[in-house]
Chain A
Amino acid sequence: MRDPKWLKWVRIIGLGLLGLFTVTPIYVMITSSIKPLKDVQGDFHWIPTTITFSAFHDMWSTVPLAHYFVNSLIVSTIASVVSVVVAIFAAYAVSRFRFAGRRAFSITVLSTQMFPGILFLLPLFLIYVNLGSAIGVDLYASRTGLIITYLTFSLPFSIWMLVGYFDSIPVALDEAAKVDGSGPIGALIRVVIPAATPGIIAVLIYAFMSAWGEVLFASVMTDEASRTLAVGLQGYATQNNVYWNQIMAASLVVSIPVVAGFLLLQRYLVQGLTAGAVK
């Protein structure tokens, strides 16, 4: 495709505007985190006049940020790993077997994507409270309850994307493994999973990000002990003061793990989407 000359200018202007729109809040987040409190409470200035790193120090004591951080890390890691394992099995069944109820299963799983979260928030809350007292495991306000909830949230998208990915892997490869004496599970572990690694990584990123960023259930289903960053970050706004510089510093710090992970692995996400979902 030979590009006309005007396209160069459209490209520069178009991408420039998109870049400006994207980057401005990020710029403000970074620069405000190194301003002293009185500078973020007064008139806005593009360039910080006084630079201080005190917000990065103070933010740990204004709210128990480290505690929230650990909670988020535990919940998101376990939820995303378990979700991916469950999704691999389900996607393998849907991709490689013809069984009664296969279509019904796919449709049910996908349609849960359109449920408004608010519809099952309160029922789930009641189930957790009652189930907890029935089996003696506290699900409400516990990390376990949050893990179970979150891993289900990313499941539909993960299964859908992995089915697409698995479908793109030739069945002949499975057959070859079976000739070598593997059963269907052997073929899954030895052939399909290695061939689908980019897709699996993509799904893992997605599951981790969605657990790390969820707000609605975290705000209802947690107490002080199990609180995650999504809710904990609101603690910087007190009755008398909003510590904008600390909010920005904390936002920056809690974003770095996911953004760095995402950017490092984004090519897998694009590959995964290319091979699977968008086909």
Chain B
Amino acid sequence: MVVSATSRPGGGRGSGDPGRPPPPSGGRKGRIIPRLPVRLRRLGLPYLLILPALLLELLVHLIPMVIGIGMSFIKLTQLYIRNWSAAPSAGWSNYHLAVDFNAPVGRALLHSFLVTVAFTLITVALSWFFGMAGAVLMQGEFRGRGVLRALFLVPYALPVYAGVITWSFLLQRDSGLVNHVLVDQLHLFGDKPFWLIGQNSFASIVVVSLWRWWPFAFLVLMAGLQNIPRDLYEASAIDGAGWMRQLRSVTLPMLRPVNQVLVLVLFLWTFNDFNTPYVLFGKTAPQEADLISIHIYQSSFVTWNFGTGSAMSVLLLLFLLLVTAIYLLITSRRRSDA
């Protein structure tokens, strides 16, 4: 600290000033020697600060990702799992297997992908709508507002296994609440339907995911609404704008940057979600709700075919990268037009 305190010629002007590069070298000759280590320290400091984060990201995300891509090019089956460097090269055969839609493996992957796309679109749209409705209706003061807000956030705060395991109890055929209400009380079905196997399982996973994710949209949108300046509403009210008009012309446009990030995050989290289907259905999901992460997990760990599983993961990553890039391109252009 002593060095930096004595050798700061520009007073408060230093590396802490964003937008400005570190002070240029030079100055009087006599100062070069004591200043050099300071400059080095200043240049090095940001790198030192990000170093722990960088190392952790490398160890847990980036290096495994590279290895994962490498694994997709070898025949990594049960035989080689202890000594996987000896596994023979597979070339592109893992990828061929994954995208050959005429063969069972490829067809199952395509099916799982389409199910996941449908699941994600419905869940994200409904989560956003529920969150938006909740946040807008919570505006203003009324009795019980604080309690209600806390209540809405509980599904998000609950650990996923606790919340989802409760849903799997609700959805039990014989002892669950859902059939009790739909069959015993409302008489909508003649016979008690199954909810966790068969074609109803898709609806089940959508409802459970919605229950878990809409509070997050609610939380973010509520924070976004607080950032809209009050005067905008007052000005539009003076101009004679009613409630609906204000929602359309003030609230929604002002929330656009928030929505841009929120929808993307919801999309990625829902698409990659493993926890919800895993707790709800167990290791093997029913055909109709065979979400992609469970499908890949099963292809890798149940059938012990890690090479193909890795190829599927890489394809999934490429798809997500593509969607994200297109999404950001479109939404950012719209934003700069506006």
Interface of B is mostly: helix
Say yes or no: B170 contacts A25, CB within 8 Å: yes
Beyond A209-B159, A259-B154, 15 additional contacts (C-beta under 8 Å) are A14-B133, A22-B155, A89-B52, A90-B53, A99-B46, A112-B57, A114-B320, A118-B313, A119-B317, A126-B84, A153-B60, A178-B8, A234-B161, A263-B153, A279-B227
| Partner among A14, A99, A274 whose Cβ is within 8 Å of the Cβ of B137 | A14
Some 13 contacts from A to B, beta carbons below 8 A apart, are A89-B52, A116-B271, A116-B292, A119-B314, A123-B71, A126-B84, A148-B56, A178-B16, A182-B1, A247-B169, A251-B165, A255-B157, A274-B223
Does A57 have its Cβ within 8 Å of any Cβ on chain B? Answer: no
Say yes or no: B160 contacts A215, CB within 8 Å: yes
| Given A22-B151, A86-B52, A115-B317, A255:B162 Cβ within 8 A | yes
| Given A10-B137, A114-B324, A122-B309, A266:B15 Cβ within 8 A | no
Contacts of A248 in B (CB 8 A): 166, 169
| Partner among A89, A112, A178 whose Cβ is within 8 Å of the Cβ of B12 | A178
Does A152 have its Cβ within 8 Å of any Cβ on chain B? Answer: yes
Please count the residue pairs between chain A and chain B whose beta carbons lie under 8 angstroms apart in the complex: 320
Contacts of A262 in B (CB 8 A): 153, 156-157
Does B40 have its Cβ within 8 Å of any Cβ on chain A? Answer: no
Does B258 have its Cβ within 8 Å of any Cβ on chain A? Answer: yes
CB distance from B33 to the nearest CB of A (A): 20
Say yes or no: A43 contacts B180, CB within 8 Å: yes
A residues lining the B interface (CB < 8 Å): 1-4, 7, 10-11, 14-15, 18-19, 21-26, 28-29, 32, 40-46, 86-87, 89-90, 92-99, 101-102, 105, 108-109, 111-124, 126-127, 148-149, 151-153, 155, 159, 171, 174-176, 178-179, 181-184, 186-187, 209, 212-216, 219-220, 229-230, 233-234, 244, 247-248, 251-252, 254-255, 258-259, 262-263, 266, 269-270, 273-274, 277-279
Q: Top 9 A-B pairs ranked by shortest CB distance?
A: A120-B64, A123-B64, A93-B49, A273-B223, A262-B157, A119-B313, A251-B162, A123-B67, A152-B60
Say yes or no: A108 contacts B62, CB within 8 Å: yes
Contacts of A178 in B (CB 8 A): 8, 12, 14, 16
Interface of A is mostly: helix
Question: Which residue of chain B has its CB nearest to the CB of A212?
Answer: B159
Contacts of B163 in A (CB 8 A): 25, 251, 255
CA distance A248 to B257 in the complex (A): 40
Say yes or no: B16 contacts A233, CB within 8 Å: no
Say yes or no: A119 contacts B316, CB within 8 Å: yes
Does B246 have its Cβ within 8 Å of any Cβ on chain A? Answer: yes
